[in-house]
Structure 1
Amino acid sequence: MRRLLILAALVAAVPAIAQEEQSTAPYAYRQLDDPAKEARAQDLMETLRCLQCQGQSIADSDAPIAGSMRSLVRERIARGEEPEAIRAWLIERYGDYVSYAPQLTGLTWPLFAVPAALLLLAFLLLRRRFSGKGGAR
């Protein structure tokens, strides 16, 4: 009886195993046949952040969502879409966080302006300090 239950469990698991092998993301782990298109896809994938891992690009991540995103990128490159159009579509779909190359927008301008202002302030303070006008020697 126990063997029969084990056999039944294995038979029930076969469709699930077969379904896992049939990936919904055909290009998750398979490269494009055209080397030039694959190079463009790789370049783009290295600049896109995995939403699950967050510290890895989709090119480096083994997370399922990264595989799906790799497949999307390759499929769209194969259809002739430009990498920047694909990036814009992914940003629209997932938000600015998906891109390692942030865009200058109304929300992100402080990220660019604050470091520049701090550098300018440091330069002015150092210039004043070392020019002799700022204090006693």
Structure 2
Amino acid sequence: MMRAFTALLIAIAMSVAALSVAVDEKPLADPAKEAMARDLMKELRCVVCQNQSIEDSNADIARDLRQIVRERIAMGDTPDNVKAYLVDRYGDYVLLEPPFKKSTYFLWGSPFIFLGLVLYMVLRSRKAPVVPKPLSADEQAELEKILGKREEDK
């Protein structure tokens, strides 16, 4: 009984500790700046989640990124400056729509490469079937001999 009570107290203490660690996200006081920050959050990718914006993500890093966006917008940075700051820290991956430049050519071209490979495979599989060459006279005689034996065996 004492062990169960101790385990319950430990579980409650850990739950309270976990809740107290969570950062309370407060929107910016200026509604225009908050709207600007929210629009920017829709364009930034959570670096943990797959193809999810930081506005939609519940990951801890997304919460931190939302806080950074709000802080920088509150300081007077433009959305482009905030994007540049985050790209310097996390690379182009942090953008939901990465720019078209040398380092992202493969990223942008890979769907077309994949489509080309699929078309090549489909067209390659549609080739005319190979027609075997006709039997020589000796081969035809041998075939008739074999087939004749089978008919006699029946």
TM-score using structure 1 length:
0.65
The answer to whether residue 35 in structure 2 is matched with residue 45 in structure 1 is: no
Alignment coverage as a number of residue pairs: 112
Higher alpha-carbon Rg:
2
Structure of greater relative contact order (alpha carbons < 8 Å, 6+ residues apart): 1
Judging by fraction of residues, say which structure has more helix: 2
5 Å-filtered alignment, 1:36-115, equals 36-109=32-105
Q: Percent sequence identity over matched residues? A: 43
Kindly report the root-mean-square deviation, in angstroms, between the aligned alpha carbons of the 2 structures: 2.7
Uncovered stretches (5+) of structure 1, i.e. residues with no partner: 116-137
TM-score using structure 2 length:
0.59
SS of residue matched to 2:4: helix
C-alpha contact 1:26 1:71 (8 A) present in aligned 2: no
Distance change >3 Å, CA 95–CA 79, structure 1 → 2: same
Corresponding residue to 2:19 among 10, 18, 21: 21
What is the rounded CA distance, in whole Å, between the counterparts of 2:18 and 2:78 in structure 1?
Answer: 31
Runs (4+) of structure 1 moved beyond 3 Å?
A: 23-26, 109-112
